[in-house]
Amino acid sequence: MGRTAIWTSIRDTLAAEIAQGHYAPGDKLPTEAALAARFGVNRHTVRRALAALAEAGLTHARRGAGVFVAARPADYPIGRRVRFHRNLAEAGRSPERRLLRRETRAADTREAAALGLRAGAQVHVIEGISLADGAPMALFRSVFPAVRFAGLLERLGRLTSVTEALREEGLSDYTRAETRITAKAATATQALHLHLSEGAPILRTVAVNVDADGAPVEFGHTWFAGDRITLTVTPEDMR
């Protein structure tokens, strides 16, 4: 019988340790040098084992930062009422949002059309990262009509929830009118924020939210890490 390749033994050992909880989702694995010393092999052998873990979806590499344990996929319903915090909390995850950008500017052609605005009308734009249990799950960009929600950016400076900020602006409820889902490859910037490799698969959703009268209130893009989110749709969601 042939001997087992050393790299496969290292892969299996690390996979077992991840499964047993020695390394939690989001944890950084030891460096190649540390693993090479531990197993008594060269770094090329370790690198091959780590590549196999990544191919199996157990880890992901972040350029210049190291190798991290992949977060377990979270179900994310795409329905009429999509709320990030509620969706992840109901799945037993700890949700968090970090804003990267808040500004008011002129709407571009697509934004104006989606929100039913005249060309060049002022809109509020927010961009940020959505996390679960401290691990980045998605990037988002949301665009709102500035005239209707004059104080939105100020409110988002002290509130973590877009829903709460909109409620303070007088919008008690809103629903999803349309969602489009497209598979994409992560750009260098997206990969950096999501702790992915450049070109890794991501899922992009483009959606329009409306108020009770059907007037558009939000035009949003979300880029989900493909290995950390499972987008789900049920018949109830489509009513």
Residue range 126-152, pLDDT digits in tens = 999 988 777 788 999 999 999 999 999
61 token code pair: 């590499």
pLDDT digits (tens, 9 = 90+) for 20-34: 889 988 789 999 999
pLDDT at site 140: 95
Check the CA dihedral 98-102-108-112 and report its sign.
Answer: positive
Q: Answer whether 91's CB lies under 8 Å from 142's CB.
A: no
Q: Which of 25-34, 102-111, 121-130 has the lowest mean pLDDT?
A: 25-34
Give the residue ranges of DSSP H helices in the chain.
Answer: 6-19, 32-39, 43-55, 84-90, 109-115, 152-156, 162-168, 188-194
Average pLDDT over residues 115-119: 95
Sequence-ordered list of residues with C-beta below 8 angstroms from that of 153, at least 6 positions apart, any chain: 102, 103, 104, 124, 126
- Domain residue limits, the chain: 6-69, 74-232
Q: Answer whether 140's CB lies under 8 Å from 156's CB.
A: no
Report the candidate in 30, 29, 33 with the shortest Cα–Cα distance to residue 69: 29
At 228, is the pLDDT very low, low, confident or very high (cuts 50, 70, 90)?
confident
pLDDT at site 1: 44
CB-based burial label for 211 (10 Å; 0-12, 13-18, 19+): middle
The 8-class DSSP code of residue 50 comes to: H
Class of domain 6-69: mainly alpha
The fold for domain 74-232 equals: Chorismate lyase (3.40.1410)
pLDDT digits (tens, 9 = 90+) for 172-225: 999 999 889 999 999 999 988 887 778 888 999 999 999 999 999 999 999 998
The number of helix segments (H) and strand segments (E) in the chain equals 8, 10
The yes-or-no answer to whether 6-69 and 74-232 have a common fold is no
125 token code pair: 């734009």
Q: In the chain, what percentage of residues exceed pLDDT 70?
A: 90
The pTM assigned to this predicted structure is 0.72
